[in-house]
Amino acid sequence: MTVYPFPMKNTANSVTTHRTAIAQATVKVSKQETIDSINHKKVGKGDVFEVSRVAGMFAVKRTSEVLPDAHNIPIDFCEVRHAVDGLDIVIEVEVQALSRVGISSEAMYGASVAALTVYDLLKPVDKEVEIRNIKLIKNKGGAEQYRDRLDREIKTAVVVCSDSISSGTKKDLAGKAIIDGLKGHQVEVNDYTIIRDEVESIQEKVLALYADRYDMVILCGGTGLSPRDVTPEAVRPLLDREIPGIAEAARNFGQQHMPYAMLSRSVAGLKGNTLILTLPGSTRGAEETMDALFPFVLHIFKVALGMRHAE
């Protein structure tokens, strides 16, 4: 027997965002008398719209119990709305949540159950009632919403700061993980260098990249607490404007995965028009920081038009 694995999508490394989804379903009745019965609450089983509203809300909250690949999501807002257009009963289900995963299935399932409830209540009085369509009409939120379409190449360098890697006693995995992560966001690396954990070496390299008009310089390693971890000390004096929120976002995201993330001393900011980021030297720390910052940090190059380097 062949077994086909069907794992649930792993969202552990996704960033929490505010998400909104609205789904719509249409129930078609065959006569005006049915609509009149609904409006005057003369359908034998009760208030059709109210029962449908409650059923739809229950369905939204219990989607993960029905759909095998749906995640159990705390729902922050749910509303089921009904409108009559001729012989059509139009149902809209709006769902909002602070979530790592999309909520379109919750809205669609809620609309489906709300429509089916209307059908079930009306079938004794209208044998030709039918559900016409169910569709998603709005889906907002998630990382894709914040993925800017950049109109130029972002000239990028990755600099690995490590005594052991520069001496050849250890292979670089974290720097390569950063490069792979950047490729996933359509950012090509123009310079990849390995240097020692020394303030002078780090500053010399950063200044050279700045002089060569690099848009983004990512330093990997040297952000911890060992005596040789000097990347923040080397970088901070070079910054014209520190951007504390970048490092705070990375540490906050990392803390949800690894309690030791609070010990990171990463810094970030601008030197002139060059964005400088410092990431942990561990592969896991570098990957999690990339998940926390990208593609969102690239918004800098979209909104700050005055930062554009001259050709």
Sequence-distant (≥ 6) Cβ neighbours of residue 308 within 8 angstroms: 152, 273
**Residue 47: active-site member:** no
CA proximity to 253, closest of 11, 14, 9: 14
Average pLDDT, the chain: 91
Tell me the per-residue pLDDT of 200-240, one tens digit each, with 9 for 90 and over. Answer: 999 999 999 999 999 999 999 999 999 999 999 999 999 99
**CA separation for the pair 297, 40 (Å, rounded):** 55
CA proximity to 214, closest of 192, 190, 231: 190
Domains present along the chain, CATH in parentheses: 17-142 (3.30.70.640), 147-307 (3.40.980.10)
**CA separation for the pair 126, 30 (Å, rounded):** 7
Tell me the per-residue pLDDT of 113-160, one tens digit each, with 9 for 90 and over. Answer: 999 999 999 999 999 999 999 999 999 987 666 676 777 899 999 999
**CA separation for the pair 307, 215 (Å, rounded):** 9
Q: Is the overall model pTM greater than 0.85, yes or no?
A: no
Tell me the per-residue pLDDT of 42-76, one tens digit each, with 9 for 90 and over. Answer: 887 679 999 999 999 999 999 999 998 888 999 99
pLDDT attached to residue 309? 47
Collapsed DSSP state (helix, strand, coil) of residue 104: helix
**CA separation for the pair 219, 238 (Å, rounded):** 13
Among candidate residues 88, 120, 148, 191, the one labeled active-site is 120
**CA separation for the pair 146, 294 (Å, rounded):** 9
End-to-end CA distance of the chain: 62
H or E element, residue 25: strand 17-28
